């Protein structure tokens, strides 16, 4: 693996001297797994873990490594593992902020030049959603490019294109068909050596289909959409960085029907009303509703009180919404409680009789 193919040279040129100085062990975050990261480095694939300094204090979600990040690591001898030491400055990012909360943002990808906004010309077509994606891209210092997909099956493609053009006069917009391979070369033309791009859009819009066509391989799993409303089935469940032969980096992302789905784990729970209503019945207040003992939600699923499919969708979203952060939050909560107990035991806090 060459750092150059991952876009390092272009990225490095944007760094100030101190950031880049003396850093030999550089890798790029390719996948965020539960509890670890897949890193791409000179020496190939490494499992990135966090320790020590990184874990010493409670961090905000955005301070954790994200797909697309350049990181400095320390290799563990004799293993394909590395300790993540620091994250190099993000030149751009595509992120979703929770309403009214500027501090806690959920980052979808970092250090990308272009955001391909993929929208189906079928039931997925929605101008206000396009607008939000365009804002998101510009906010994050990325160039938005709109890809209106599935033109092979849309009879009104031309009029929809004109509508979109009228609204976004400064954005490049293309009619394409990932499946019928129409306009693929126009997309390919953006992804030159050293360029990183991310694909966003609803589930079922055709992001993974398009990525496969760009790769010339069936690498990404593709799922059917529902006939009545064109909704996808959340086929892609992880953000993933993929290298293109001849340079260029593609990031596939799980699609969301609503941009509001890019939210923290707690909000995921709130979105599932039947699950939310049972949370009080869990034995532990920090129950993860998956592995924790005495979980009222798991029990309700077992006895059929909650729809199993709905529960599985909940798990998928819950774990998608940044597993590491959720885990760290729980740890911090425990530590706080322990500290509080100690303090209360101290004599000066005991009530005088």
Ligand X SMILES: Nc1nc2c(ncn2[C@@H]2O[C@H](COP(=O)(O)OP(=O)(O)OP(=O)(O)O)[C@@H](O)[C@H]2O)c(=O)[nH]1
Point out which residues bind Zn ion (CB under 5 A).
282, 287, 289, 295, 297
Q: How far is CA 310 from the centre of its chain?
A: 22
Cα separation, 224 vs 81, whole angstroms = 37
d(C-alpha 116, C-alpha 221), whole Å:
19
CA dist 3 and 41 (Å) reads 7
Among 90, 91, 129, 234, binds ligand X (CB under 6 A): 234
Residue 138 in contact with ligand X, rule: CB under 6 A: no
Q: Which residues pair with 49 in a beta bridge?
A: 83
Q: Shortest Cβ distance from residue 213 to Mg ion (Å)?
A: 13
Considering the rule CB under 5 A, would residue 236 count as an interface residue with Mg ion?
yes
How many Å apart are CA 11 and CA 71, to the nearest integer?
Answer: 12
Residue nearest to ligand X (CB): 255
Q: Out of 150, 231, 239, 318, point to the residue binding ligand X (CB under 6 A).
A: 150
Residue 349 CB, nearest approach to ligand X (Å) = 53
Q: Which token pair is 168?
A: 């976004």
Q: Which does 287 bind (CB under 5 to 8 A by kind): ligand X, Mg ion, Zn ion, none?
A: Zn ion
Find the shortest distance in angstroms from Cβ 211 to Mg ion: 8
Cα 112–255–126 angle (5° rounding)?
100
Span from 17-25, 202-210, 268-276, 333-341 in contact with ligand X (CB under 6 A): 202-210
Query: Toward Mg ion, which CB reaches closer, 6 or 205?
Result: 205
* Binding of ligand X by 178 (CB under 6 A): yes
Residues 204-233 that bind Mg ion (CB under 5 A): 207-208
Specify the stretch interacting with ligand X by CB under 6 A; choose among 196-204, 239-247, 269-277, 344-352: 196-204
Nearer to Mg ion, 106 or 208 (CB): 208
Beta partners for 86?
72
# chain residues binding ligand X, by CB under 6 A: 26
Interaction of residue 232 with ligand X, rule CB under 6 A: yes
Q: At what angle do helices 157-167 and 127-139 cross, to 10 degrees?
A: 40
Q: Is 225 in the site for ligand X (CB under 6 A)?
A: yes
CB 220 within 8 A of CB 212: yes
- Distance, in Å, from the CA atom of 206 to the CA atom of 222, rounded to the nearest integer, reads 8
Exposure b/e, 234-254, CB count within 10 A at least 16 = b: bbbeebbbbbbeebbbbbbbb
Binding site for ligand X (CB under 6 A): 149-150, 152-153, 177-180, 201, 203-209, 222-225, 232, 234-236, 254-255
**Binding-site ranges for Mg ion (CB under 5 A):** 207-208, 235-236
């Amino acid at each position: 693996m060459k750092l150059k193919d991952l876009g390092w040279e272009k990225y490095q040129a944007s760094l100030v001297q101190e950031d880049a100085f003396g850093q030999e062990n550089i890798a790029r975050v390719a996948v965020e797994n539960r509890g670890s990261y897949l890193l791409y480095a000179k020496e190939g694939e490494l499992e990135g873990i966090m320790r020590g300094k990184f874990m010493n204090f409670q961090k905000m979600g955005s301070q954790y490594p994200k797909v697309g990040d350049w990181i400095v690591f320390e290799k563990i001898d004799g293993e394909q593992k590395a300790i993540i030491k620091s994250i190099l400055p993000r030149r751009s990012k595509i992120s979703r902020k929770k309403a009214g909360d500027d501090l806690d943002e959920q980052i979808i990808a970092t250090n990308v030049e272009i955001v391909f906004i993929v929208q189906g010309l079928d039931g997925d077509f929605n101008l206000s959603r396009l607008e939000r994606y365009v804002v998101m891209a510009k906010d994050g210092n990325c160039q938005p490019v709109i890809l209106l997909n599935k033109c092979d099956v849309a009879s009104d493609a031309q009029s929809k294109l004109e509508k979109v053009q009228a609204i976004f006069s400064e954005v490049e917009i293309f009619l394409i068909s990932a499946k019928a391979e129409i306009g693929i070369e126009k997309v390919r033309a953006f992804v030159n050596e050293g360029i990183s791009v991310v694909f966003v859009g609803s589930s079922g819009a055709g992001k993974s289909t398009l990525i496969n066509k760009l790769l010339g391989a069936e690498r990404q799993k593709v799922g059917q959409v529902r006939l009545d409303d064109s909704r996808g089935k959340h086929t892609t469940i992880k953000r993933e960085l993929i290298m293109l032969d001849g340079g260029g980096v593609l990031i596939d992302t799980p699609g969301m029907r609503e941009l509001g789905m890019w939210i923290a784990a707690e909000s995921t729970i709130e979105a599932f009303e039947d699950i939310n209503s049972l949370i009080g019945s869990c034995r532990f207040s920090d129950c993860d509703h998956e592995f924790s003992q005495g979980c009222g939600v798991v029990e309700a699923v077992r006895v059929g009180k909650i729809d199993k499919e709905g529960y599985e969708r909940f798990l998928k979203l819950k774990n998608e919404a940044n597993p590491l952060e959720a885990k760290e939050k729980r740890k911090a909560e425990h530590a706080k409680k322990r500290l509080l107990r100690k303090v209360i035991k101290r004599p000066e806090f005991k009530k005088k009789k």
